[in-house]
Amino acid sequence: MQQDDTIVAIATPLGRGGIGVVRLSGAAACSVAAPMLRLKHPLEPGRAVFGELIEPELSTRIDEVIVTYFQKPHSYTADDVIEISAHGSPVVLQHIVKLALASGARLAEPGEFTMRAFLNGRIDLAQAEAVRDLIESRTLYQAQVAAQQLGGSLSHTIQPIKKKLVDLIALLEAGIDFADDDVPILLEGTIYGHLAEVRAPLEKLASSFAYGKIVQQGLTLAIVGRPNVGKSSLFNRLIERDRAIVTSEPGTTRDLVTESVAIGGIPLRLIDTAGIRKALDEAESIGIRKSMEALADADMVLVVLDSSQPLAEEDFELLAQTAERKSIVVENKTDVSGHDLHGRTELKATAIRTSALTGDGIVELRAEILRQVQGGANARGELGIVTNLRHQRLVEQCLQALEAAHHAVNQRVPHEMLLLDLYASLRFLDEITGSTTTDDILNLIFGTFCIGK
């Protein structure tokens, strides 16, 4: 991508709308926009000006527009930026782009506005990636986490870790460079202490990815059980509408029914499955096979039991299959007088008692799902969490390099060789924020952005 020219793109989604925005960025943004505009007042930095979009050669009016001028470096890209807000007609917006191209602008590549913001030093790479996460957010909580990342929460978490690592490198370098000037050489115990101070927060950061991945990607939750235990009724309660067919006849559900919801801001893909029993016909057999596949593939499982009846053989089999999985046992139909399954050693867990018919226990079930998603940790209070697989791999590689450095100290390797491992770990941290990043990685990251951002 050329960084010294002026780029243009439609910045609002495709389709018709009340308003559409065309964005220009670059040194010639004002001069490119000028021929197509007839403004009531001259452009001023940070002010919106009313005017008309005109055909430059004929001076005929095409639309009424609002034009905002952001002067460098106080703009999204840190270059001069012009944003033209017109009525959201695709024909009008495309014509604005066409006029800009005729005046010397170039069509922006995907993510090029954000890449310019990164290259101009306005944001670091972790913040730039958070822009994409914010745009792709499906829940308010996802947007809040992405906004924290955009504000630099991850970068601020990494900064003191890098400082401690750089301090250790500087001490070792000084001991080598000034060995003849009575500069003390660091003792093994001191080096171990410095390494531990660097590793501890990095290990905490690495462990946050288990929750951060769920925040960004969500998870799949399969509802399994015998026929007629109330799986579909629970499914409908959790999604808060009648999506699955519910009848008193066992085996109504023959295929998988899926729906996406959010619990506590975490995206969940719920799967209602066919009742698991000895199949009565071929269609039910296929449905049961799909249920078992969904059970195997799900991130979390709800094992639904009928509290109005004694545990059956299929119940014990499902409990055994899910004993080592992330699972929740649900005793449904508590509105019906029946067996209290609490205290049964076969459950191997505290069950949530619910009535899909009355709604009793559904709040507690949602809370338990969220608790298991969070892993019991206060992850929501953590400002700097890892939600990006690229970041997670770099943190792990940094920890591996630090482990190699620890081993080098054990082996009494010369400090010159020890420094190679420390510099490697520093390089991995720099790649998170983009201090040292190849063009190939940048193109891969920004190529996933939408055009106009």
Q: Classify 83 as helix, strand or coil.
A: strand
Question: Could you identify the residue written with the tokens 């991995």?
Answer: 428
Amino acid occupying residue 176: I
Which of 1, 61, 12, 56 has its CA nearest to residue 33?
Answer: 56
Instruction: Name which residue leads in pLDDT, 409 or 283.
Output: 409
Q: pLDDT band at residue 338, thresholds of 50, 70 and 90?
A: low
pLDDT(243) > 80: no
pLDDT(178) > 70: no
Q: Domains of the chain, with CATH numbers?
A: 7-122 (3.30.1360.120), 140-208+385-434 (1.20.120.430), 219-374 (3.40.50.300)
* Helix intervals (H) in 103-187: 112-119, 125-135, 140-150, 153-177
pLDDT(177) > 50: yes
Exposure string for 120-129, b = 16+ CB within 10 A, e = fewer:
bebbbbbbbb
Spatial distance between the Cα atoms of 376 and 262, rounded to a whole number of angstroms: 19
% of the chain with per-residue pLDDT over 70: 85
Q: What local confidence, expressed as pLDDT, does residue 283 receive?
A: 65
Give yes or no for a contact between 222 and 293, defined as CB atoms under 8 angstroms apart: no
Give yes or no for a contact between 86 and 12, defined as CB atoms under 8 angstroms apart: no
Calculate ∠ Cα 157-161-162, nearest 5°.
Answer: 110
**Residue 50, token pair as written in the block:** 């009313």
pLDDT(335) > 90: no
If you average pLDDT over each of 65-79, 210-224, 407-421, which comes out highest? 65-79
Please count the residues of the chain.
453
**Residue 191, token pair as written in the block:** 């080096």
Spatial distance between the Cα atoms of 250 and 378, rounded to a whole number of angstroms: 41
Beta-strand pair 219-225/352-353: unpaired
Q: What local confidence, expressed as pLDDT, does residue 108 receive?
A: 93
Spatial distance between the Cα atoms of 49 and 105, rounded to a whole number of angstroms: 22
**Residue 312, token pair as written in the block:** 């059956």
* Helix intervals (H) in 180-309: 188-207, 209-217, 231-239, 282-297
Which of 184, 189, 191, 185 has its CA nearest to residue 168?
Answer: 191
> Average pLDDT, stretch 193-220?
90
Paired residues of 45 in beta bridges: 69
Spatial distance between the Cα atoms of 81 and 65, rounded to a whole number of angstroms: 16
pLDDT(221) > 80: yes
Q: Classify 421 as helix, strand or coil.
A: helix
Q: 344-400: per-residue pLDDT in tens?
A: 545 555 688 888 888 899 999 999 988 888 765 445 545 678 888 999 999 999 999
Query: Mean pLDDT for the chain?
Result: 84
Q: 76-102: per-residue pLDDT in tens?
A: 999 999 999 999 999 999 999 999 999
Q: pLDDT band at residue 343, thresholds of 50, 70 and 90?
A: very low
Nearest-10 crossing angle of helices 362-374, 231-239 = 80
pLDDT(26) > 90: yes
**Residue 111, token pair as written in the block:** 């993510």
| Phi, psi (deg, nearest 5) at residue 160 | -65, -30
Q: What local confidence, expressed as pLDDT, does residue 96 receive?
A: 95
Q: 54-84: per-residue pLDDT in tens?
A: 998 888 899 999 999 999 999 999 999 999 9
% of the chain with per-residue pLDDT over 90: 33
Q: What local confidence, expressed as pLDDT, does residue 403 receive?
A: 93
Question: Could you identify the residue written with the tokens 């009742």?
Answer: 275
Which of 199, 112, 144, 158 has its CA nearest to residue 403?
Answer: 199
| Region of poorest pLDDT, from 30-39, 191-200, 251-260, 422-431 | 251-260
Paired residues of 266 in beta bridges: 263
